[in-house]
Amino acid sequence: MCGTCGCGHTLIKPARAKTTGGALNFRPVSGTPEAGAAVPQTPTSEAETRRIKVERDLLAENDGWAGENRARFGAAKTLALNLVSSPGSGKTTILVRTLQELRGKVPLAVIEGDQQTENDAERIRATGVPAVQINTGKGCHLDAVMVRHGAEELPDLACGVLFIENVGNLVCPASFDLGEDAKVLVLSVTEGEDKPLKYPDMFRAARLMLLNKCDLLPHLAFDAELACANARRVNPDIEIIRLSATSGEGMDDWLAWIARQQAA
């Protein structure tokens, strides 16, 4: 897990940023190897024992922060949704269209996670919705502490919706609770139908799967039924909505799903 990729270390943030610009750039306190650097090896049993302990400690600390986030969101009646996917699945495009549909109806805000740049946050701000960009550097996922700091930069979201767009990755985000109400997984039809079988932890952790870019199906050799069957094979309870952020197909179903989560 994170002991291999180098992001499984305590992260600290610099000076406060603004929702109108300036990313929260997180960096490791210590111990994270540079990209490509060799990680010192120890005897397998000792290394494995230490790795498991570090991962358990890391996840336990994260879960504590996630619990605090969840309590804070719950007290404000804020629906928090964690959007996860591979890079290029169309999360930001879906998010932009969703914000355009919901703006003015409920309070909205976005926490954007990427390793570098503010590109996605700028796209979100263009809709008139406040967004905080979190740059994780070498980190491959958001964690609960990052979300806590990001939420502190946002305006009041009482009875509103907070969208958390995670770093594009189907591995580590599955293990890190951010204090969200649900993980929403985006799978595009330009990916393989076997993604749920290759990355079962992520599909198992998700409450909803958005099968995106369905407007491209006539031009692709993608078996949508098989992709959905594979997702339900891993997670029988997962809900699935077929969607196209470009054509608008499925957007009403997605917005209705959000409304149901708010009501619940």
pLDDT digits (tens, 9 = 90+) for 122-180: 999 999 999 999 998 888 899 999 999 999 999 999 999 999 999 999 999 999 999 99
Say whether pLDDT at 191 is over 50: yes
Distance CA(237)–CA(239), nearest Å, equals 6
pLDDT band at 16 (very low <50, low <70, confident <90, very high): low
Give the angle 212-214-220 at the CA atoms, nearest 5°. 115
Pair of tokens at residue 227: 């992709």
- Residue with the two structure tokens 């954007």: 112
Q: What is the reported pLDDT for 38? A: 34
Percent of the chain whose predicted confidence (pLDDT) is above 90? 73
- What's the average model confidence in pLDDT over 104-109? 96
Report in angstroms the alpha-carbon separations of 22 from 103, 122, 143, 222.
23, 10, 19, 40
CATH topology of domain 42-263: Rossmann fold (3.40.50)
Q: At what angle do helices 144-152 and 44-75 cross, to 10 degrees?
A: 30
DSSP class of residue 30?
A: S
Distance CA(228)–CA(246), nearest Å, equals 21
Which is nearest to 189 in space by CA: 116, 247, 233? 247
More confident: 40 or 21: 21
pLDDT digits (tens, 9 = 90+) for 202-251: 999 999 999 999 999 999 999 999 999 999 999 999 999 999 999 999 99
| CB atoms closer than 10 angstroms to residue 175 | 18
Q: What is the reported pLDDT for 193? A: 97
Which is nearest to 214 in space by CA: 251, 184, 188? 188
Q: What is the reported pLDDT for 33? A: 33
Report in angstroms the alpha-carbon separations of 145 from 63, 67, 79, 91, 209.
10, 11, 18, 22, 25
Q: What is the reported pLDDT for 216? A: 97
- What's the average model confidence in pLDDT over 104-119? 94
What value does the mean pLDDT of the chain take? 86
Say whether pLDDT at 32 is over 50: no
Taking the model in full, what pTM does it have?
0.84
Distance CA(14)–CA(3), nearest Å, equals 24
- What's the average model confidence in pLDDT over 107-136? 95
Say whether pLDDT at 263 is over 50: yes
Q: At what angle do helices 251-263 and 91-102 cross, to 10 degrees?
A: 70
The residues that bridge with 165 in the sheet, in sequence order, are 83, 112
- What's the average model confidence in pLDDT over 69-87? 97
| CB atoms closer than 10 angstroms to residue 245 | 25
pLDDT band at 37 (very low <50, low <70, confident <90, very high): very low
Say whether pLDDT at 103 is over 60: yes
